[in-house]
Amino acid sequence: MPLIISTQSYRGDHATEYGLLVELDESTGKICRTLRINTPVNVPNSVDRIKPGLRGISCFEGNLYVATWSSIVVIDLDTFERVGEISHHWMSDLHGLCVNEDGIWVTSTMPDAVILYDFGGDPIRAVWFSETAAYPEFKPVDKGLDWRLKGKGFRGFHLFHCNHVEVCGGHVYVTGRGGRTKNGRIYRFDRSKFRSKSGDIGCHPTLVVDGLFGAHDGIFHAGSIWVTETSNSSIAEVGLNGTVERRFRLKTGERNGHFMDLFDNAISKFKNLLGKPGSRLTRWTRGLAATDGFFYVGQSTLANSGESTARVLVVNIKTGAMENIIPINIDNYPEARIFQLVQVQ
């Protein structure tokens, strides 16, 4: 059962103008197939920055749905070729995808929204977090704006940062950065109300947990929500009652402790400002899939050195021990960074 991995690439501070979708045989560590998808890095007539490469992935009825900054590319899983693309003016800084019989659920992070689209790309409903109780003050979203043409410098909604969406039973769960510690929260809301096309049905997110460390992915496994934490190289188990049950630190040979993480990151950034290669410590924990016995976790290095690479960690679900480390080495694709990964049946 291969892993499908979405990636981004940098040469120092310069973004590669495409992303590679990677199919990995997790049992051998061999890269089986790759697909290049061109992605924008600049906004026309603007100095605002667009983040390049590929983002969220979801698999549904033989197709892969892969997000870029402002569109969703549809790929035939058998042929590994593009068969379509969907875009809408609310799609901006897309992160997580969850595709099911309802349609395409996506987090549009620039306007802090979770949107459900039909398979033709028309929106069914949306939750704008800045217009809910998740924000202490109501902040309206300009819904007539073409958000696709706005870069990172434009973003005006900073309290929350929608990263991932997952549907389980009658609820939709949203993982993101922000909240009490400005690091991570999980919200949920009613799926049945969200799916309605008619009427003004209120859809108010309920806070599940606060205080996570840069929460990015959120998947369900064995009755719990498991999240990746970008701030401390961890994955954490969250019970449906909001309690953090376990946390596995996924580091090899580096110093432990959240304070040391922050210290090492600061030193790395300072070195880069001086034009020196930054620290090559693995920091960015994004991408999570699970089988009965193992988690597959993506990690990447934010060194801006042009030499580092990403890796997939194989983690024992019971003990948190790293059973294997699979490097993602691709020629002429330096500093590959993993955004998300899924396991396909």
Question: What does the pLDDT read at residue 193?
Answer: 77
Give the span between the Cα atoms of 294 and 323, in whole angstroms.
Answer: 9
Distances (CA, A) of 11 to 35, 99, 289, 334: 20, 33, 28, 6
Residue 19 and residue 52 in contact, taking contact as beta carbons nearer than 8 Å: yes
**Domain count of the chain?**
1
- Lookup: tokens for 155: 């973003």
Domain holding 101: CATH number?
2.120.10.30
Find the domain containing 187 and state its range. Answer: 3-343
pLDDT in tens, 66-89: 999 999 999 999 999 999 999 999
- What tens digit of pLDDT does each residue of 105-163 get? 999 999 999 999 999 999 998 999 988 888 888 888 999 999 988 887 776 677 889 99
Pairing of β 94-100 and β 337-343: unpaired
Q: Which residue has the tokens 């679900």?
A: 317
Which of 293, 341, 296, 343 lies closest to 319 in space, CA to CA? 293
Q: What pLDDT is attached to residue 274?
A: 47
The pLDDT value given to residue 12? 67
Q: What is the amino acid identity at position 75? A: I
Q: Which residues contact 200 (CB under 8 A, 6 or more apart)?
A: none
Identify residue 337 by its one-letter amino acid code.
R
Among 247, 310, 263, smallest CA distance to 284 is for: 310
The amino acid that residue 5 corresponds to is I
- Across the chain, mean pLDDT equals 85
- Which segments in the chain show pLDDT lower than 70? 12-13, 43-47, 155-156, 179-182, 195-202, 252-283, 302-308
